[in-house]
Amino acid sequence: MAKWNVTRECGHEEEIQIYGPGKDRESKAEYEATKLCGTCYQAKIQADRKAESEQAAEQSKATGLPALQGSDKQVAWAESVRAEYLAGVVKAEQLLAANFGARGAAEAAKALPEIRKQAESRTSAHEWIERRDRTAGADLRDAVRAMLS
């Protein structure tokens, strides 16, 4: 175990701890120098999230989706989740048609308007965040299974 002072890609210097054989430490230190420091990395993540959220909000306004309700932070996150979900609805429709032919496409065509309607009427940012792991494909699959049974 050794401590090294590394100048990161962003120009900040950090002291890091490197584990492993002595012969590998210099190459690990060189690798660490290609990364951002912790502060700059977090700032980059926040900037990326903000840009993604703003783009999703603009897309929502352009398509006429209702505004989300919640704190500013919740709304920003939920806009991205909702945009990803609605893009997943389109992708699920295409995959279903490609994999199940005419019957799958017909069933998807019946189920998709309801799924879109539910998604568009969901205005709680909290609810979108809680459902962030639920994909449009899974909702579509469940709706088609219910129709076929």
Summarised one tens digit per residue, pLDDT across range 18-41 is 998 888 888 999 999 999 999 999
d(CA 11, CA 49): 23
pLDDT of residue 40: 94
Q: When comparing pLDDT for 111 and 82, which is higher?
A: 82
Q: When comparing pLDDT for 95 and 69, which is higher?
A: 69
Question: 107 lies in a domain?
Answer: yes
**Same domain, yes or no: 24 and 76:** no
What's the number of domains the chain is made of?
2
pLDDT in tens, 40-55: 999 999 999 889 888 8
**Same domain, yes or no: 31 and 81:** no
Question: 47 lies in a domain?
Answer: no
pLDDT of residue 57: 84
Question: 90 lies in a domain?
Answer: yes
Question: 98 lies in a domain?
Answer: yes
Q: Residue 8 in contact with residue 40, Cβ under 8 Å?
A: yes
What beta strand segments (E) does the chain contain?
Answer: 2-7, 13-18
**Same domain, yes or no: 30 and 71:** no
- Look up residue 74 and give its DSSP letter: H
pLDDT in tens, 7-21: 999 999 999 999 988
**Same domain, yes or no: 31 and 70:** no
pLDDT of residue 103: 66
Question: 103 lies in a domain?
Answer: yes
pLDDT in tens, 85-144: 888 877 877 776 677 666 666 767 777 778 878 888 888 999 999 988 888 778 877 777
Q: Which domain holds residue 28?
A: 2-35
pTM, two decimal places: 0.66
Q: 40: buried, middle or exposed (CB in 10 Å: 19+, 13-18, 0-12)? A: middle
